[in-house]
Amino acid sequence: MEPKTILITRRLPGVPFEILSGRFRAGASPPDTAMSREEFLRRAAGAAGILCTLADRVDAVLLDAAGPGLKVVSNFAVGVNNIDIPEATRRGVRVCNTPDVLTDATADLGFALLLAAARRFSEAGRFLREGRWTGWDPWGLLGMPVAGKTLGIVGMGKIGSAAAQRARGFSMRVLYHARHPLSPERERELAASHRDLDALLSESDFVMLCVPLTVQTRGLISRERLARMKPTAVLVNIARGEVVDEGAMAEALSERRLFAAGLDVYEKEPQVHPGLLLAPSAVLLPHLGSATVEAREGMGRLATENLVAVLEGREPPCPVN
């Protein structure tokens, strides 16, 4: 029987291309950088399986290019907003993702952003490197305390829950907003109390966004909702950039209606809103949420398992549809 054709859109940690190319028809080695849209469409033709990243848009056009033999799209990410799930489902294409293995890495990064923004680490680092530090100053670069403050978590899935667990080490009061509230037992375990979104924003000293990007969450943190936050509050986004009105957030920082922001994701990645680049109180990272060796290699192994399972007629470990 002729081997099935697969497409791996770029070289990825934990994805053994050499082994896969011995079992499937895999073509040329995947590039080190993101594949262009044109190349993606061309190389998808005739593929039975695609292993891609969140930078690769899998829409009706791509599915048409792949053809009716496509069986599975395995995403090297937990989020699947780059894939048209209803269209893939309509065509009988399984979609899989890589949850769990990146939970701790992303929650760690969220808390790192929270601390860095609260204590003005980016601003202080620039101050020192530019040679402006002349010695200890009792008024210098005063930040916001973290211990004992209120953390509001928007989206209480695995990453949000992991963030709540970390908050306990800082004796923080934890509020959360989720479409489906946790069970009373789980709320007690996490010491977390449910709030509607507007109440959470107005009560919290720190707000951490952990929601997936959906029709409902796109633009969730609007100009009006930013206005509900305390002027001393810190906003942390480890979800997706499109969850926040980036221009409104930049204005709030510039006008000091928001103390600081810690951001790992952006509306139009890799572009960053110019107002955020100019904001001293914005801590900006280049989408590093899962960027540890263990997490990325785990994602690669899981994405590979998903791909192979479907192509061999087995149920994948992490199906989305």
Cα–Cα distances in Å, from 298 out to 76, 82, 98?
10, 20, 8
Neighbours of 23 (CB within 10 A): 13
Catalytic residue from among 94, 120, 195, 240: 240
Residues forming beta bridges with residue 266, ordered by sequence position? none
Helix/strand number for the chain, H first, E second = 13, 11
Active-site annotation holder among 91, 194, 287, 301: 287
CB 44 within 8 A of CB 65: yes
Nearest CA to 57 out of 269, 315, 286 is that of 269
Is 194 designated active site? no
Q: How many angstroms separate the CA atoms of 233 and 237, rounded? A: 13
314 as an active site residue: the answer is no
CB-based contacts of 300, cutoff 8 Å, min separation 6: 12, 13, 14, 15, 76
Is there a contact between 80 and 296 (Cβ–Cβ < 8 Å)? Answer: no
Active site (annotated) includes residue 273: no
- How far from the centroid of its chain's Cα atoms is residue 49's Cα? 24
Of 87, 251, 269, 294, catalytic:
269
Q: Which residues belong to the active site?
A: 240, 269, 287
